[in-house]
Amino acid sequence: MTNQTIRVVARVIALPEKVEELKAVLLELIEPTRQEAGAIKYELLQNQSDPTDFTFVEEWASSEALNAHIQSPHLQAGVAKLEGLVAAAPDIRRYNVVV
């Protein structure tokens, strides 16, 4: 199982009146993250039936690359901006591909 990539699904729910503000913060993360070593895929999705529901779908070359992303200055700055914009703490889940 070596060389298996790490998949992440990170869900962030905006307060109803803060959807556009949260979206702007999340969009700021896209390009710097895509430039990180080990970033294979980093997409931001918005739920069609619930615009407050944002989900990042990510793929990382290794746990080390993902951990470096978590500590990156741009992600830390983005996380610091979430207060007052989100309904709850982000739900971040790590996955391995089974098949």
**Span 21-62, pLDDT tens digits:** 999 999 999 999 999 999 999 999 999 999 999 999 999 999
Instruction: Judge whether 1 lies within some domain.
Output: no
pTM given for the model? 0.92
Give pLDDT, residue 99: 85
Residue 1: pLDDT band by 50, 70, 90 thresholds? very low
- Residue 19 lies inside a defined structural domain of this protein: yes
Identity of the residue numbered 90: P
Reading the block at residue 57, the tokens are: 């779908």
Q: At 44, list the tokens.
A: 């931001």
Distance from first CA to last CA of the chain, Å, rounded?
12
Structural domain span for residue 19: 6-95
At 49, phi and psi to the nearest 5? -95, -10
Structure confidence by residue, pLDDT tens digits, 71-85? 999 999 999 999 999
User: What number is the average pLDDT over the span 90-96?
Assistant: 97
- Count CA within 13 A, CB hemisphere, residue 11: 10
Give how many domains the chain has, as a whole number: 1
